[in-house]
Structure 1
Amino acid sequence: MPDLVRCEPQVLDALSQLRASGWRVGIVSNGMADNQLMKIERSGLGDRVDGCCVSGEVGIRKPDVRIFQLAAERCGRALSDGGWMIGDHPEHDIAGGQAAGLRTIWVSRQRAWPVGRLPADRTVADTASAITLLLGESWYGQGGRGQFPSR
């Protein structure tokens, strides 16, 4: 499976731009450690993030706030520094990010938001659009910029 995963070049370029502009970038992912970490490396994401936190490695799954805390630490930050969570799963990514005190961007992929859930701060169609949105964002946390995308 890791050999089949590709990341769109515009996403990789946007992540590089995000880091170059001072953002810390991390990945929080549910799944088996070996599988997810290989996907991250083989897709080119590993060179464009400051830290990764995979549930199979740490024994904690999204939406548990502790996995977001670990991801922030691996990026050299604390959740209290502020940040954003980009994700496509309403409960794991968006509700989990909100519970962790992060602002959120839901990657809708043209789906409707689930009724009864607290909406994300922003909604976009795809990951590249979420990163582009952040590149223009003027919001800063107390300790600097922070970003914790999913996958």
Structure 2
Amino acid sequence: MIKAAVFDLDHTLFDRNGTLKSLVIALRKEFQVNEKMTDEEIAAEWCYADKTFVYSGWEYIFGYLKEKGILLGSPDFQDYCEFLYKYFELISVPFPETVPMLEKLRGLGYKTGLITNGNHKLQYAKIRNLELSGHFDEIIVTGDYGIHKPDREIFDIMREKLGFSADEIVYVGDNPVNDIEGARNAGWHTIWMKSTGFWLDEIEKAEREVFTVSEVIDAVLSLEE
């Protein structure tokens, strides 16, 4: 019996594409950006790069923006990182169904949790901006522990916090390695959020797959059948 649903943040509950689209104007202010490209064209390329290289690192996304002639001159990667830290703390776009879904899950008696890789300051800024803090029984930002997904230990820490056995918890996330394989290795049930559509053939599929946050509750309930 499932007693708790634990979530990833980025690309699962937090709309990174929507957020990047809202940051194009700020990108123009902070960097030398190709003036011949429209905001829509830049947003499309930025979101494509984020989707393609999301599991490789920001340096690959940064390299793509330079290669495509979006960032001109001699932009510095560290400046790009500081830009993202600055604006992700100010602007975060949620999926509209996120809060209603979490409220309904808790109303059905499930405990909820969040495990997100990253540093404390940035990830908690996102959580505050998204107004999600009050919708979780437990939150783990891995930077606080020095252990990151897919390390089984971080899942075990959450399991202990929730007070349930591994087979009573389901994890919902978009990353095939960090989220799905990590949770499975910890003995948890798994739901893949197909927000990026990225999968690795060598990874065993999740027990359930969803395209949107609004499908999560039905997926959780189906694991009870």
Same fold per superposition (TM over 0.5):
yes
What is the rounded CA distance, in whole Å, between the counterparts of 2:89 and 2:218 in structure 1? 26
Q: CA deviation at 1:2?
A: 2.4
State whether structure 2 residue 84 is matched by structure 1 residue 84: no
State, as a whole percentage, how many aligned pairs show the same letter: 29
| Segment drifting more, 33-42 vs 124-133 | 124-133
1:110 & 1:30 partners in 2: Cα distance? Answer: 17
Partner of 2:147: 60
- 1:85 is displaced (CA, Å) by 0.6
CA–CA distance in 1 between the matches of 2:132 and 2:196? 24
What letter is aligned with 2:107?
A
Q: Which of 211, 216, 220 in structure 2 is aligned with 1:125?
A: 211
The size of the alignment, in residue pairs, is 138
Q: Is the 8 A contact 1:26 1:72 kept in 2?
A: no
Following superposition, the deviation at residue 44 of structure 1 comes to 1.5
Q: Deviations over 1:27-82 (max 9, x none)?
A: 001001111112112201111110111111111000011111222233x3234352
Aligned partner letter, 2:121: D
Q: Distance in 1 between matches of 2:219 and 2:198?
A: 20
Residue 121 of structure 1 aligns with an amino acid whose one-letter code is: E
1:138 is displaced (CA, Å) by 5.8
TM-score (norm 1): 0.82
Name the one with the larger helix percent.
2
The answer to whether the aligner puts 1:137 opposite 2:222 as a matched pair is: yes
Using the alignment, how far apart are the partners of 1:138 and 1:114 within structure 2? 23
Please give the alpha-carbon distance, in whole angstroms, between the structure 2 residues aligned to 1:125 and 1:82: 23
Q: Moved runs in structure 1, 4+ residues, more than 4 A?
A: none
1:109 deviation in Å? Answer: 2.3
Distance 2:197 2:98 in 1: 20
Rg (Cα) greater in structure: 2
Aligned position for 1:37: 124
Structure 2 residue runs of 5 or longer lacking an equivalent are 1-87
The aligned residue for residue 114 of structure 1 is 200
